[in-house]
Amino acid sequence: MSPATDAQLPTSLAVAVMVVFGAVVWLPVFGAASLGVASHNALWYFAAYPLMIAAAFLISRWHRGRPWLLAAAMVFASYVTALVFVPGTGNLLPFELVIMAVLTVLPALAAKWGAKYWGSSQHANVGG
């Protein structure tokens, strides 16, 4: 394995990337919702959330530790963005926080599986 493929992001940088992605994932949702394609909620669950799961898998290529932290940072950043920009979000704050914690499970599993995938010897030199 070459040193280029062993390069790992520091935890703080990986978390920052996931926080930014969790917030930015709302941009296409807002755009499509403003065109009347669907509601914010439907677009988030059917478009943005799967993108977040894929992002968790991909970020594990460069940061293999603490998949739960990366997933939680991304999902809760997305929630904070919704609190600011989506009307009606936060009305049931404790319940919504529990739902966001549950929604953190799939991205955390994707990051964990990604770390195993990218760490395997057959995929170690991909992109390196």
Dump pLDDT digits (tens) for 19-55: 999 999 988 888 888 888 788 888 888 889 999 999 9
Question: Quick one: pLDDT at residue 1?
Answer: 43
Is pLDDT above 50 for 4? no
Question: Quick one: pLDDT at residue 41?
Answer: 81
Q: Give the whole-angstrom CA distance, residue 124 versus residue 77.
A: 30
Q: Give the whole-angstrom CA distance, residue 71 versus residue 56.
A: 6
Q: Give the whole-angstrom CA distance, residue 50 versus residue 57.
A: 11
3-state SS assignment for residue 61: coil
Tokens (6 digits) for 36: 């009347």
